[in-house]
Chain A
Amino acid sequence: MPDHPTGSDTLPLSLTVNGEARQLRVAPWTTLLDLLREDLGLIGTKKGCDHGQCGSCTVLLDGKRANACLVLAVVKEGSNVTTIEGLAGPGGALHPMQAAFVEHDAFQCGYCTPGQICSAVALVEEGRARTPDEIREHMSGNICRCGAYPNIVAAIEQVLAENAR
């Protein structure tokens, strides 16, 4: 039976983060959110509640949206992680969802925005939400303290409409 760990034990972890393969070592209790922010310097992903309630830490894990604060990094060995920093195209061209958020002024303070955009990118990919009501339901995991909801819905509607064309 192992003794209680001393805190010095780290485990190897390979992850692909925004297209780049990374060989890391992490303590078992490190969340994916802390790994991204503290170890990899990817501070675009925000920590709001740290308890899965606000969605500001939403990232794409193998293409699916997840709250990075409620994922232990070690659990995701071999996964592909996309954060807000990884959405732009070559040369920094904005992702269509980023462009739509700018166009519709879909933020005020901007704290929730990286999570909103990652979540919205997944929503489009999932293909289940079409109407404004469905968009609101499928974005319910992302809270905006500033209340930019109407503009967020408008931005997502625009991207859905562009894709339908």
Chain B
Amino acid sequence: MYDFDYHKPSSVADAVKLLSADPDARAISGGQTLLPALKHRLNRPTYLVDLSGIAELRGVKREGDKITVGAMTRHIEVQNSPEVKSAIPALAYMATVIGDIQVRNRGTMGGSVANNDPAADYPSAVLGLGATVVTDKRRIAADDYFQGMFTTALEPGELLVAIEFPIPEKAGYAKMRNPASRYVMAGVFVAKTKDGVRVVVNGAGPGVFRQTDMEQALSANWSPDAVAGIKQASEGLNSDIHGSAEYRAHLVSVMAKRAVTDAG
């Protein structure tokens, strides 16, 4: 790692002040992605702004028909949250299949959604539930937030504060894990909400995307059979040592079926 300075603010306002004062400052939440990147010397921050001392960024709340998860909420807390488990069990389940327990004890939802790794899990729930990303300055609809590999609508210095998930009628997630790294090879999140059906694919392409053929099929007939026959095109999907684009395309149909079964 290169050398850097360190600040630990105790409010969102102070964190934002620090982050906007210097374009080379970086936020650190769980550090599970940032520290490996710094060890590779992929970037050289002047200072890190540690978000772990900011109480307002933590915890899960249920208000009316939505669940709000603070940016610093760790994966293990999402997995164990009684509010998430009862209102959106698919989201609690998703947390249980992120990495391993050591990673889940440190990694945070805000870090994952800010980073938008194509192999991350949470982005598919955020888009699949039509969630709202709340920052220190604005509210961003999930449809506008994800902009491709490691790219989001967040501006430099903008802090992700919380994510608001509307509670769906039904939702399910299925993920084919890489057996060694446990990152997703292809995952599908399905949700039936009052605004309609959403089907989102993660891990297979350079970013999360909606599978509209499957959305239409499930709107007409919510059952695993409805998606089983729908083929995902392999053009533009990821191809690497873990699997070809064709294999990932095939997995999308299999995972979609499992996700609908899981949603019930």
Contact = CB atoms under 8 A, between A and B. Distances in A.
Nearest to B79: A128
Contact-residue size bin, chain A (C-beta under 8 Å from the other chain): 35 or more
B50 interface: yes
A141 B48 CA distance: 27
Interface stretch (A63-71, A98-106, A145-153): A63-71
B22 A51 contact: no
Contact of A51 (B6, B39, B102): B39
A93 B39 CA distance: 38
Contacts of A72: 6, 28, 31, 35, 48, 50
A52 B32 contact: yes
Interface stretch (A4-12, A17-25, A36-44, A83-91): A4-12
Contacts of A67: 102-103, 106
A4 B46 contact: yes
Contacts of B35: 31, 52, 69-72
Contact of B31 (A65, A70, A126): A70
Contacts of B11: none
A70 B106 contact: yes
Interface of B: 1-6, 8, 21-22, 28, 31-32, 35-36, 38-39, 46-48, 50, 52, 76, 99-103, 105-106, 181-182
14 contacts: A2-B47, A5-B5, A52-B102, A66-B102, A67-B102, A67-B106, A70-B106, A72-B48, A74-B8, A75-B52, A119-B102, A122-B101, A140-B101, A141-B99
